[in-house]
Amino acid sequence: MQAVSETAPSVAREFAHVRTWVFDLDNTLYPPEVRLFDQIEVRMRTFMTRELGVPVAEADRLRREYWSAHGTTLAGLMAVHGVEPEPFLEEVHDISFDVLTPDASLAERIAALPGRRIVYTNGTAPYARRVISARGLDGLFDAVYGVAEANYRPKPDRAAFETVFSVDGLDPARAAMFEDDPRNLSVPHEMGLATVLVAPAPEPAPHIHHHTDDLAGFLARVV
């Protein structure tokens, strides 16, 4: 939960200047306990065992290593093995969305936000749109950006943020970002965005301005 010292009026004042609301996708616009990303990890493992010719345990080790060192598994595969991004992205995002359900409360809160509302994910824009639809959030976002729109550079790479934010035309000084991965909030903080960690537990750090484990509840305090 948000810190109890953060009253609703104080949170609203801190976000009164925001006119672009940037949302990550996975484990942000849906709760992590649905474990949608588990399906993607399985498909990553399958892709890597086949394409790299390594056993399952080694594929899992490399997947974690590349995520840690390069920002995403794909970025590591591209840098180390010269993997083409499109076939990988198409294969790993071919999953079932049956675990997702519409969230009317979240939809209402996002709809109430003033200004532009965008999604920016390290996945693909088509995949993001399927998640958005399954969550009952269709029609609420002005733009959806994926890793392709960032020239296949992943968050937390600063160049990825600069590319997407430039394409969108947002003013970082009047924007806020909601994200489940703490490291992906460092550059937005440096660029001047307000930052909100959406995660079960807080992670105190100078680049994390707010924390919540309830996105709809937090947004209700913002406007």
For the chain, the domains span: 8-33+101-222, 36-92
Indicate the pTM of the whole model: 0.93
Q: Which residue in the block uniquely carries the two structure tokens 């979240």? A: 106
Helices (H) and strands (E) in the chain, counts: 10, 6
pLDDT in tens, 10-65: 899 999 999 999 999 999 999 999 999 999 999 999 999 999 999 999 999 999 99
Residue among 94, 90, 160 at smallest CA distance from 122: 160
Angle of the 104-111 helix axis to the 215-222 helix axis, nearest 10? 30
CATH class, range 8-33+101-222: alpha beta
Give the Cβ contact number of residue 171 at 10 Å.
14
- Second-level CATH architecture of 36-92: Orthogonal Bundle (1.10)
pLDDT in tens, 179-191: 999 999 999 999 9
